């Protein structure tokens, strides 16, 4: 029988849990197993697996995204095996532990704050012969929230200071990394955050603790050697120490270049940055990174100075804007920008500006999130002052405040749904860029507002819509609402459809596939051999089966390849685009 099973219920199957692996390394003197499931798994399927593990203690890692499932798992486990000890820990239970143990009789103990040292003490205490009675146990570590830090009302625990991060073991073994190479590996090089964002739990721990560079670089080597697909750093603000960040970036870039030269795969490293502290020297170095090696998530949250001041974010949007534009120039780094709806002093009208400001930076993704009243954060403590109403259940999202009412927030939620489908998916980039960026027919907020209003009226939010039908609905909306009458836009939408739908020809468009005999003649024409170089050695028929030649308006083709915004969109001339598995080409007739 195991002494302890550490239970992680992740948000999605590809994710891994960092916390339970740290905890496992902290208690190596005990028999410990890790269980990983996801919120999409069957509850009873997970229970079946957990019962098979036959642990004395089941320790659950608790977060806003899994707490509802975790309490159900814990209840069933306790009733199935009353002798087992149910232990909770993690950010979701660190700030209301007493309420938790009072409300859920099947929870025997809660560890608050950092768990490595606390779990070790807990296990040692139990192994020394301590037995449970009626009292619950609260082990408070690093936080001052509880006066009752006692075991059975007798043994007072010495309050621990934060651990030296360099004394905490790397949580992955070499063999484990190899077994997880197709999943997302979470990793951290620092704990805490120097900033004081009122909505963020990381701001609770003021002290920033960093892992030494020698260890970090060695651990990066392990990720490369194990052929990990993606390493997601959970450091809240990776570049808050720019010189240190620069060393790590340069090391990753050089390793990525060597793998590229040797035709070996390399991981994707995901970092969270503050966008206004990226010096030009860092940008110039990042521009040399192999494509796909690095991606950034940059939290803008709002462009309102009053709002940013209220939440404790001393950032300069003009600096963010300039840095993001510079980073995007090389087209080698995926950039994801964040906005939060429901922040102090930001009305619906003011949020429009934040949305447009950030969208116009043309980052790869714009995530529109909604403020959460997380336990332990300053924003939750300020609820009365700002008139906040948060949901009482996880993830404690905003319902309204003094500046924005519930109906307006639901408008934004509908907009967010279409933002994900149409912008963040990347499937409509050519058409949306022409409509919103190049021609500025509508500003981005107005487009998504009107489009989501139309979707709601038609009832499309209540039914499943396939990827292919998303194109037809955008085409229908543009024409029904008379947004723009342009052959270039129609062709741009058809082009997006073709490249993202296995070269199918859309039904809503006037574009046509070029006749088979003409395509055969193109393949065999010496003047066009450059376009078919990737098919060297293949017979004409096999090449034909791998390509598509489609007739578009020449105005669109000129726009696509020359970006000539003043081109005559009424020109009825036709041109051909050749689509191959690797690229597409303009075949001027």
Q: pLDDT, tens digit, for every residue of 232-267?
A: 999 989 999 999 999 999 999 999 999 999 999 999
Sign of the dihedral defined by the CA atoms of residues 100, 104, 107, 108, in that order: positive
Q: What is the pLDDT of residue 131?
A: 61
Q: What is the pLDDT of residue 98?
A: 82
3-state secondary structure at position 236? coil
Cα distance between residue 478 and residue 494, in whole Å: 14
User: How big is the chain by its Cα radius of gyration, in Å?
Assistant: 28
3-state secondary structure at position 3? strand
Q: What is the pLDDT of residue 204?
A: 66
pLDDT tens figures, 418-452: 999 999 999 999 999 999 999 999 999 999 999 99
Q: Where do we find the tokens 């006692």?
A: 150
CA–chain centroid gap for 283, Å, is: 22
Q: What is the pLDDT of residue 145?
A: 33
Sign of the dihedral defined by the CA atoms of residues 34, 35, 38, 39, in that order: negative
Q: What is the pLDDT of residue 567?
A: 47
Query: For residues 47 and 564, which has the higher predicted lDDT (pLDDT)?
Result: 47
Q: What is the pLDDT of residue 206?
A: 58
How many CB atoms are located within 10 Å of the residue 31 CB? 13
State the pLDDT confidence band at 570, using cuts at 50, 70 and 90. low
Q: What percent of the chain has pLDDT over 70?
A: 92
**Helix (DSSP H) and strand (DSSP E) numbers for the chain:** 22, 22
Write down how long the chain is.
589
For residue 379, pLDDT over 50 is answered with yes
- Contact status, residue 18 vs residue 171, Cβ threshold 8 Å: yes
Mean pLDDT of 475-484: 94
Task: Tell me which of 53-67, 125-139, 304-318 is least confident.
Answer: 125-139
Q: Strands 334-341 and 365-370, how do they pair? A: parallel
Cα distance between residue 364 and residue 362, in whole Å: 6
Residue 225, exposed/middle/buried by CB under 10 A (0-12, 13-18, 19+)?
exposed
Q: What angle do CA 4, 10, 11 make, to 5 degrees?
A: 165
- Contact status, residue 47 vs residue 31, Cβ threshold 8 Å: no
Q: What is the pLDDT of residue 87?
A: 94
Of 103-117, 306-320, 523-537, give the range with the top mean pLDDT: 306-320
Mean pLDDT of 290-318: 94
3-state secondary structure at position 586? strand
- Contact status, residue 72 vs residue 19, Cβ threshold 8 Å: no
For residue 140, pLDDT over 60 is answered with no
For residue 455, pLDDT over 90 is answered with yes
State the pLDDT confidence band at 143, using cuts at 50, 70 and 90. very low
End-to-end Cα, the chain, rounded Å: 75
Q: What is the pLDDT of residue 136?
A: 57
Q: What is the pLDDT of residue 130?
A: 63
Long-range CB pairs of 45-48, under 8 A, 24+ apart, other chains included: 46/9, 46/73, 47/73, 47/76, 47/77, 47/80
3-state secondary structure at position 82? coil
Q: Determine the angle formed by the axes of helices 348-359 and 406-418, rounding to 10 degrees.
A: 20
Q: What is the pLDDT of residue 399?
A: 97
Q: What is the pLDDT of residue 170?
A: 95
Of 138, 117, 124, the closest CA to residue 23 belongs to 117
Structure-block tokens of residue 314: 């001393």
Kind plus residue range of the DSSP H or E element containing 268: strand 268-273
- Contact status, residue 386 vs residue 347, Cβ threshold 8 Å: no
For residue 159, pLDDT over 80 is answered with no
3-state secondary structure at position 557? helix
pLDDT tens figures, 507-549: 999 999 999 999 998 999 888 888 888 898 899 999 999 999 9
b/e per residue, 437-450, with b = 16+ CB within 10 A?
ebeeebbbbebbbe
Task: Tell me which of 22-31, 100-109, 390-399, 488-497 is least confident.
Answer: 100-109
Structure-block tokens of residue 236: 């809240």
Q: What is the pLDDT of residue 161?
A: 41
How many CB atoms are located within 10 Å of the residue 565 CB? 11
Average pLDDT, the chain: 90
State the pLDDT confidence band at 571, using cuts at 50, 70 and 90. low
What are the backbone angles phi and psi of residue 76, rounded to the nearest 5°?
-65, -40
Q: What is the pLDDT of residue 88?
A: 94
Q: Strands 584-587 and 155-156, how do they pair? A: unpaired
Query: Is the bond leading into 164 cis (omega within 30 degrees of zero)?
Result: no
Q: Where do we find the tokens 């376009």?
A: 531
Task: Tell me which of 40-49, 103-112, 445-454 is least confident.
Answer: 103-112
State the pLDDT confidence band at 141, using cuts at 50, 70 and 90. very low
Q: Can you spell out the DSSP letters for 281-308? A: HHHHHHTTSPTTSEEEEEEEE---HHHH
For residue 3, pLDDT over 70 is answered with yes
Q: What is the pLDDT of residue 2?
A: 85
Cα distance between residue 454 and residue 256, in whole Å: 46
Q: What is the pLDDT of residue 536?
A: 86
For residue 154, pLDDT over 80 is answered with no
Cα distance between residue 168 and residue 472, in whole Å: 54
For residue 157, pLDDT over 60 is answered with no
For residue 360, pLDDT over 80 is answered with yes
Q: What is the pLDDT of residue 109?
A: 87
């Amino acid at each position: 029988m195991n002494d302890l099973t550490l239970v992680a219920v992740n948000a999605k199957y590809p994710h891994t849990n960092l916390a339970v692996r740290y905890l496992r390394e902290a208690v190596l003197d005990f028999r410990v197993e890790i269980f990983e499931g996801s919120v999409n798994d069957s509850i009873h399927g997970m229970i079946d697996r957990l019962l098979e593990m036959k642990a004395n203690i089941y320790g659950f890692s608790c977060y806003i995204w899994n707490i509802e499932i975790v309490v159900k798992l814990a209840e069933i486990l306790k009733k199935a095996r009353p002798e087992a000890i149910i232990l909770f820990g993690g950010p979701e239970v660190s700030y209301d532990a007493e309420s938790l143990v009072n409300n859920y009789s099947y929870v025997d103990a809660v560890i608050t704050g950092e768990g490595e040292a606390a779990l070790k003490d807990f296990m040692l205490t139990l192994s020394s012969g301590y037995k449970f009675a009626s009292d619950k146990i609260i082990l408070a570590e690093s936080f001052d929230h509880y006066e009752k830090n006692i075991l059975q009302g007798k043994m007072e625990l010495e309050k621990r200071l934060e651990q030296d991060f360099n004394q905490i073991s790397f949580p992955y073994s070499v063999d484990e990394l190899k077994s997880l190479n197709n999943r997302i590996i979470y990793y951290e090089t620092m704990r805490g955050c120097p900033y004081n964002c009122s909505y963020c739990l990381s701001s609770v721990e003021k002290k920033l603790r960093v892992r030494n560079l020698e260890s970090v670089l060695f651990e990066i080597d392990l990720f490369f050697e194990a052929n990990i697909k993606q390493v997601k750093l959970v450091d809240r603000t990776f570049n808050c120490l720019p010189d240190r960040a620069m060393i790590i970036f340069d090391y990753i870039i050089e390793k990525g270049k060597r793998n590229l030269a040797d035709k070996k795969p390399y991981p994707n490293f995901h970092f969270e940055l503050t966008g206004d502290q990226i010096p030009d020297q860092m940008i110039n170095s990042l521009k040399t990174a192999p494509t796909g090696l690095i991606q950034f998530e940059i939290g803008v949250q709002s462009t309102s100075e009053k709002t940013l001041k209220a939440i404790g974010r001393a950032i300069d949007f003009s600096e963010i804007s300039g840095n993001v534009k510079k980073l995007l120039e090389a087209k080698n780094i995926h950039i994801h920008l964040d906005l939060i709806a429901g922040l102090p002093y930001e009305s619906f009208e003011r949020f429009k500006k934040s949305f447009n400001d950030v969208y116009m930076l043309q980052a790869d993704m714009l995530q529109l999130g909604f403020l959460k009243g997380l336990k332990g954060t300053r924003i939750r403590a300020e609820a009365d002052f700002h008139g906040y109403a948060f949901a009482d259940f996880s993830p404690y999202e905003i319902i309204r405040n003094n500046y924005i009412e519930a109906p307006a927030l639901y408008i934004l939620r509908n907009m967010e749904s279409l933002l994900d489908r149409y912008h963040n998916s990347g499937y409509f980039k050519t058409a949306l860029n022409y409509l919103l960026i190049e021609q500025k027919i509508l500003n981005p907020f107005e487009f998504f507002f009107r489009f989501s209003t139309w979707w709601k009226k038609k009832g499309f939010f209540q039914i499943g819509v396939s990827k292919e039908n998303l194109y037809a609905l955008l085409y229908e909306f543009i024409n029904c609402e008379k947004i723009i009458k342009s052959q270039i836009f129609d062709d741009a939408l058809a082009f997006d459809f073709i490249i993202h739908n296995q070269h199918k020809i859309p039904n809503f468009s006037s574009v046509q596939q070029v006749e088979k005999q003409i395509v055969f003649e193109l393949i065999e024409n010496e003047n066009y051999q450059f376009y078919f170089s990737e098919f060297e050695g293949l017979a004409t028929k096999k090449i034909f089966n791998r390509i598509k030649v489609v007739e578009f308006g020449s105005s669109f083709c000129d726009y696509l390849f020359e970006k000539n915004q003043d081109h005559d969109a009424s020109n009825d001339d036709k041109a051909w685009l050749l689509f191959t598995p690797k690229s597409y080409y303009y075949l001027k007739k």
